């Protein structure tokens, strides 16, 4: 028997539908947001999918359910659209883990190097970069660059993972990380394997190298989803943020997914709620604005990413 939807939730969902029509709006959600937000979203995906998708949409308003770099990227790529972020506190700690001054210093020390910037970064950091990448396309984009030297910012773990696959290139890393993924330890993987013997371990490349060494598969959130959906095993150990569980279970009702313990939770992603989505659509609060010069300088590395990822 289906659990009845509480009246208040049903009402708010209906209100959001009305507001979407009034505002010519669509809702884009990252896999890490709350289940009920993913449930009402028009599009759900990883960082790459969301940035690529936003460019082709006809709607005048984009409600970006994720952290601030996702709202900024949508605005940078779609300056004529109104982009609403339901809670401006939703930020990614890693996005700030290098300064433009340090990037300038590294460039001066390595004049032939390309600065490759993970999309989990501020608009200002993007302006100091040659190309953006996401966890889904970093390998193919870095491989395609003519530069032999790569300054990879801000995430050291993703950088090292890519570097391991491109021995022909020399990498300069930055001391930055996702606090949620970086706290997962190799012992956590051992414990999960002991609890669920035979279940493949699927890990996000933001984890530390010692954790990634223990994984059967390493990939972005969409990569993890694809792997679990395409493979025959009925149980999987998931080594990334728990929000991905919603789509994993939705697409694979016959399979079981176990997260490492303690369950990784990105509190920033969870700031986004149905009430806040309704509020920004009602009031226009939470609009992402960027000064023109900053926007166009941050646009170049994002456009280059979309071009190289084709
Ligand atoms: P994806 O590139 O898989 O969407 O990851 C984004 C992210 O924030 C991971 O922590
Ligand atoms: Fe940033 Fe980590 Fe949260 Fe992803 S999970 S948004 S990298 S803090």
| Chain segment 141-188, per-residue pLDDT in tens | 999 999 999 999 999 999 999 999 999 999 999 999 999 999 999 999
The rounded percent of the chain whose pLDDT value lies above 90 is: 94
Residue 4: band (very low, low, confident or very high) from pLDDT cuts 50, 70, 90? low
Residue 54: band (very low, low, confident or very high) from pLDDT cuts 50, 70, 90? confident
Distance 1 CA to ligand 1 centre (A): 35
Residue 52: band (very low, low, confident or very high) from pLDDT cuts 50, 70, 90? confident
- Higher pLDDT, residue 2 or 189: 189
Distance 284 CA to ligand 1 centre (A): 27
As for ligand 2, residues whose beta carbon falls within 6 Å of it are 67, 92-94, 120, 178, 180-181, 206, 241, 266, 268-269
Measured between alpha carbons, how far is 122 from 69 in angstroms, rounded to an integer?
Answer: 6
Pocket test for ligand 2, best of 268, 270, 271, 272 (most atoms within 8 A of CB): 268
Q: Given this model, what pLDDT does residue 174 score?
A: 98
Distance 156 CA to ligand 2 centre (A): 14
Atom of ligand 2 nearest to the CA of 241: 5
Atom of ligand 2 nearest to the CA of 66: 6
Distance 45 CA to ligand 2 centre (A): 14
Measured between alpha carbons, how far is 40 from 54 in angstroms, rounded to an integer?
Answer: 17
Measured between alpha carbons, how far is 33 from 31 in angstroms, rounded to an integer?
Answer: 6
Q: With a cut of 70, say whether residue 132 has pLDDT above it.
A: yes
Q: Please give the sequence-ordered ranges of beta strands (E in DSSP) within the chain, or none if there are none.
A: 25-30, 43-45, 61-65, 82-84, 114-118, 131-133, 149-153, 170-173, 201-203, 217-218, 235-239, 256-259
The CA dihedral of 161, 165, 169, 175, to the nearest 10 degrees, is: 0
Q: Given this model, what pLDDT does residue 57 score?
A: 92
Measured between alpha carbons, how far is 220 from 205 in angstroms, rounded to an integer?
Answer: 7
């Amino acid at each position: 028997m289906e659990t009845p939807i509480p009246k208040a939730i049903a009402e708010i969902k209906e209100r959001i539908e009305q507001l979407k029509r009034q505002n010519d709006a669509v809702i884009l959600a990252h896999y890490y947001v709350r289940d009920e937000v993913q449930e009402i979203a028009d599009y759900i995906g990883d960082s790459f999918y969301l940035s690529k998708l936003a460019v082709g949409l006809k709607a005048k308003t984009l409600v970006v359910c994720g952290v601030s770099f996702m709202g900024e990227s949508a605005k940078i790529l779609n300056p004529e659209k109104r982009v609403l972020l339901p809670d401006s506190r939703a930020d990614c700690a890693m996005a700030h883990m290098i300064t433009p001054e340090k990037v300038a210093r590294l460039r001066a020390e390595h004049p032939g190097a390309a600065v490759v910037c993970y999309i989990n970064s501020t608009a200002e950091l993007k302006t100091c970069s040659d190309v953006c990448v996401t966890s889904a396309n970093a390998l193919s984009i870095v491989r395609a660059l003519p530069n032999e030297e790569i300054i990879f910012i801000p995430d050291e773990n993703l950088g090292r993972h890519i570097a391991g696959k491109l021995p022909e290139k020399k990498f300069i890393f930055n001391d930055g990380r996702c606090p949620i993924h970086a706290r997962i330890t190799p012992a956590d993987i051992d414990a999960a394997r002991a609890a669920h013997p035979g279940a493949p371990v699927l890990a996000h490349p933001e984890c530390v190298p010692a954790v990634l060494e223990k994984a059967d598969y390493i990939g972005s959130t969409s990569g993890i989803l694809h792997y679990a959906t395409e493979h025959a095993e009925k149980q999987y150990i998931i080594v990334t943020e728990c929000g991905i569980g919603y789509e994993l279970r939705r697409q694979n009702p016959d399979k079981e997914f176990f997260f490492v313990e303690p369950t990784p939770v990105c509190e920033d992603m969870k700031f986004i709620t149905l009430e806040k989505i309704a509020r920004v659509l009602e009031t226009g609060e939470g609009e992402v604005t960027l000064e023109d010069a900053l926007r166009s300088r941050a646009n170049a590395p994002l456009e280059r990413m979309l071009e190289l990822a084709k």
